[in-house]
């Protein structure tokens, strides 16, 4: 008979987990308590990726074969939340994580992967993380992401930033760089766009910042992941693919096998290498060199690029031409 609930000790606190034997991954049989135990195992790294950041709760109450939904506003069962202002200018409260017990509170709500902002509760308007989301388009692969990630590593070094790579837990690679929290979301986003455009110049036909899907070819650098309220699955997150978003050393870029980083396979990985994000918070750098690249792009006549569709129209944003019309004009 399946247990109706269990209680887990986490960071000196007892967390209730209802329906712990509920199967969330039917293909493998992984359960709700398996997800909770994953986060307990790698608590040091998992908390580092989300500590004091507002989190959107991506909930899979019926498991990965059923529909998921996002809860941005923190439910009453969340221990701590922070007041935020969404892109619509509406206020709200979002969950924050102080320790692994707060992650287990999210798992109790059906959360698999952790989805934090790139700013923290103490200074919501100034991100401390530049996020490079490398997503291969149709016909491209993880191996192509390796090529683009290597280019990103070199460019980050040139602008005085340290890149921390991880598998996305899907088809791509994420590279994060810590920032001094001195610049706005708009500046960080424009810096990410300038970074992506420089990668396009360095890797023509391989890297792209084209926002419209029918125009993309190659590995898409999603600059809009740096806009306010946008989230990316954090390090050590369990993805609905059944894979773990796994940090790796740059020396492993050519050899890391994302398909091996399953919820089961990751256990031996953690036992062997531990937390590879240690030191990331002490590696914060300046955005100024990238803002210089923004200015250089503007001199070339390259202004802003499209924002996510649910954002209000932004100053300098190019017109949103219907995709079908864009194809006809091309």
41 versus 311: the higher-pLDDT residue is: 41
Tell me the pLDDT band of 321, cut-offs 50, 70 and 90: low
pLDDT score of 322 more than 70: no
213 versus 244: the higher-pLDDT residue is: 244
Report the pLDDT value the prediction gives residue 330, as an integer from 0 to 100.
37
What sign does the CA torsion over 207, 115, 35, 267 have? Answer: positive
The answer to whether residues 330 and 321 touch, using CB atoms and an 8 Å cutoff, is no
Report the distance separating Cα 58 and Cα 109, nearest Å.
Answer: 9
> What is the per-residue pLDDT across 230-260, written as a single tens digit (0 to 9) for each?
999 999 999 999 999 999 999 999 999 999 9
> What is the per-residue pLDDT across 101-156, written as a single tens digit (0 to 9) for each?
999 999 999 999 999 999 999 999 999 999 999 999 999 999 999 999 999 999 99
pLDDT above 90 covers what percent of the chain?
89
Nearest to 54 by CA among 97, 88, 109: 97
Report the pLDDT value the prediction gives residue 329, as an integer from 0 to 100.
38
Please compute the mean of the pLDDT values over residues 164-178 and round it to a whole number: 98
pLDDT score of 324 more than 90: no
Report the distance separating Cα 226 and Cα 149, nearest Å.
Answer: 17
Tell me the pLDDT band of 325, cut-offs 50, 70 and 90: very low
The three-class DSSP label of residue 149 is helix
Please compute the mean of the pLDDT values over residues 44-51 and round it to a whole number: 98
Please compute the mean of the pLDDT values over residues 166-172 and round it to a whole number: 97
Please compute the mean of the pLDDT values over residues 213-218 and round it to a whole number: 93
Cα 1 to Cα 19, 214, 228, 313, distances in angstroms: 11, 51, 46, 55
Please compute the mean of the pLDDT values over residues 203-228 and round it to a whole number: 96
Report the pLDDT value the prediction gives residue 63, as an integer from 0 to 100.
97
Report the pLDDT value the prediction gives residue 246, as an integer from 0 to 100.
98
Average of per-residue pLDDT values in the chain = 95
pLDDT score of 328 more than 60: no
Angle, alpha carbons 330-200-241 (nearest 5°): 95
Report the pLDDT value the prediction gives residue 326, as an integer from 0 to 100.
44
> What is the per-residue pLDDT across 60-87, written as a single tens digit (0 to 9) for each?
999 999 999 999 999 998 999 999 998 8
The answer to whether residues 52 and 120 touch, using CB atoms and an 8 Å cutoff, is yes
């Amino acid at each position: 008979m399946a247990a109706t609930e269990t209680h887990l000790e986490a960071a000196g606190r007892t967390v209730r987990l209802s329906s712990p034997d509920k199967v969330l991954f039917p293909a493998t049989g992984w359960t709700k308590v398996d997800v909770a135990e994953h986060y307990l195992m790698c608590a040091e790294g998992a908390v580092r990726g989300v500590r004091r950041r507002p989190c959107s709760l991506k909930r899979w109450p019926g498991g990965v074969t059923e529909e998921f939904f996002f809860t941005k506003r923190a439910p009453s069962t969340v221990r701590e939340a922070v007041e935020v202002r969404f892109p619509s200018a509406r206020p709200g409260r979002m969950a924050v994580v102080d320790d692994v017990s707060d992650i287990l509170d999210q798992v109790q709500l059906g959360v698999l992967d952790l989805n934090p902002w790139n700013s923290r509760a103490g200074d919501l308007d100034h991100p401390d993380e530049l996020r490079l989301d490398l997503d291969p388009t149709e016909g491209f692969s993880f191996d192509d992401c390796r090529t683009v990630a290597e280019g990103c590593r070199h460019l980050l070094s040139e602008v005085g930033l340290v890149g921390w790579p991880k598998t996305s837990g899907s088809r791509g690679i994420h590279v994060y760089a810590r920032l001094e929290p001195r610049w706005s979301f708009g500046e960080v986003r424009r810096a990410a766009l300038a970074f992506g455009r420089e990668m396009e110049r360095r890797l023509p036909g391989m890297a792209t910042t084209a926002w419209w899907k029918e125009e993309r070819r190659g590995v898409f650098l999603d600059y809009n992941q740096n806009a306010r309220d946008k989230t990316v699955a954090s390090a050590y997150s369990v993805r609905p693919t059944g894979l773990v978003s796994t940090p790796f050393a740059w020396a492993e870029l050519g050899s890391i096998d994302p398909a091996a980083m399953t919820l089961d396979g990751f256990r031996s990985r953690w036992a062997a290498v531990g937390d590879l994000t240690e030191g990331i918070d002490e590696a914060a750098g300046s955005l100024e060199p990238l803002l210089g690249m923004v200015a250089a792009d503007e001199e070339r006549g390259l202004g802003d690029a499209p924002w996510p569709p649910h954002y209000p129209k932004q100053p300098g944003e190019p017109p949103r031409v219907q995709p079908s019309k864009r194809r006809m004009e091309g």
